[in-house]
Copies of this chain bind each other. A is one copy, B any other.
Amino acid sequence: MEADDGGDGHRGGAVGDGPTRADRARRVAHVLRGQVVRGAFPGGVLPDERALVAEFGTSRNAVREALGLLRDEGLVERRRGVGTVVVGRTYEHPLGELSGLAEVLQRHGTVVNEVRAARIVRAPGAVARRLELPEGSRAVYLERLRRVDGMPLSLDCTYLIPEVGEPLLALGPERLENRDVFELIERAAGRPLGSAEVAVRAVVADPATCAVLGMTAGGAVLAVDRLTRLADGRPADLEFIHLRGDRLTLRARLDRVREG
């Protein structure tokens, strides 16, 4: 990375003006953010400013600004006498498999679902259309707040077709608290799942969602829209999932499709 004095002896083919301090800070933050998220710092303590200045070949001010960006994101904090430390931990969700979040997270800690709603509702028109239900049909609405080791991680709002959702309601709240929706659908409702269409966006969470997820106002969430189909292709489960941006990373492995 460029030194603040504008030359590091390696420049070739430079295009455009030299970067501003904000640009340099941003570039340092890119690299550090990835390291924090992957747990690359032993003991969760970041190198001191002097070491980061040397590593990135940039100014102390750019390093400080980069650490400030990570603090603003809730990833690190400065602790007196220790330095900059990683706050909390980050969980990962593989995007390449169709798994319920709990199925994945229970590998990492104790998952508890707080059931905030579980009832029969009249499906809004747009929900009915996506679930291929007749206009005005009923659906089962489930809303669950998911905690891992006590920390809220996601708020899942789920519309189920009646033949899948009603057997779940009959199980009672306790089973809904301890089981993944996918597992419930497959075991309790006896319907094997097929595939899901997933859309992921980054959204600044509304104040109500921030409060429920225990985030400070104005924080970012991954807003996941997931329509899951039964093995026979019929849509069964439409979910709107909000995942804390500061605590969850989606991971995928992609393969290059050869042309021709």
Contacts and interface: CB of A to CB of B under 8 A. Distances in A.
A37 B200 CA distance: 11
Contacts of A231: 256
Main secondary structure of the interface of A (DSSP, over half): mixed
A37 to B, nearest CB: 7
A111 interface: no
A179 interface: no
Given A124-B56, A253-B195, A257-B97, A19 B203 contact: no
B201 A37 contact: yes
A151 interface: no
Contact of A256 (B31, B116, B195): B195
Contacts of A258: 192
Contacts of A82: none
Tier of interface size on chain A: 35 or more
A168 to B, nearest CB: 9
A241 to B, nearest CB: 10
Copies of this chain present? 2
A42 interface: no
A109 interface: no
Contacts of A30: 157, 240
A223 B245 CA distance: 10
Interface string A108-138: 0000000111111110111100100000001
A219 interface: yes
A10 B204 contact: no
Given A57-B124, A202-B223, A204-B245, 16 more contacts: A8-B121, A12-B120, A13-B119, A15-B117, A15-B176, A23-B208, A25-B206, A33-B203, A69-B206, A72-B204, A73-B203, A98-B255, A98-B257, A199-B249, A201-B245, A204-B204
